[in-house]
């Protein structure tokens, strides 16, 4: 599934030919449209890093700490 999904996402990005002007970004500037993980999610992300093998690729911490409890 991944070999189809990743090219699809990349194609969607690079095919974007519309340039949205600053005065048209009212929806995009809404604080719910944040593209990185929200500050309130940091503790959930932290326990997921401890309990799961996978981590990273969310704009947050990618290493450090023993995660051993």
Partner 1 sequence: MRISLFQIPSRFVSIFLLGVTFCANLSAQQNGNTYTKRVLETAEVDMLFSYYGQDGNNAAVTGGEGTEELTDATSTLVVRMPLNENDVLTVDVGLSAYTSASSSNVSPLDSSNDNLSPFDASSGESRKDVLTYINPSYQHSSADRNTIWSVNAYFSNEYDYTSVGFGGSYSRSFNENNTELTVSSQIFLDQWRIINPIELRPGFFDDRVEGPGTYNPNFEALDKENRNSYALSLNFSQILGKRWQGAVFADAVVQQGLLSTPFQRVYFGDVGDFFIDDFQLADDVERLPDSRFKLPLGGRLNYFANDFLVLRGYYRFYWDDWGISSHTASLESAVKISDRFTLYPNYRYYTQTAADYFYEKEAALSSFDFYTSDFDLSQYDAHQYGLGIRYKDIFTNATILKFGLKTIELRASKYDRSDGLDAFIVTLGTTFVAIQ
Which residues make up the interface to partner 1 (CB under 8 A)? 2, 5-6, 9-10, 12-13, 16, 18-22, 24-25, 27-28, 30, 32-36, 39-44, 46-48, 50-59, 61-66, 68-69
Q: Cβ of residue 31: shortest distance to partner 1, in angstroms?
A: 9
Q: What are phi and psi of 44, to 5 degrees?
A: -65, -45
Min separation Cβ 7 and partner 1, Å: 12
20 closest CA partner among 11, 12, 29, 31? 29
Give the residue among 57, 58, 59, 55 at the shortest CA–CA distance from 67: 55
Smallest gap, in angstroms, from Cβ of residue 59 to partner 1?
6
């Amino acid at each position: 599934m991944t070999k189809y999904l990743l090219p699809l996402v990349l194609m969607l990005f690079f095919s974007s030919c519309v340039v949205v002007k600053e005065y048209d970004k009212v929806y995009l500037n809404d604080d719910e449209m944040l593209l990185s993980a929200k500050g309130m999610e940091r503790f959930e992300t932290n326990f997921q890093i401890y309990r799961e093998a996978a981590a990273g690729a969310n704009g947050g911490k990618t290493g450090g700490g023993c995660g051993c409890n």
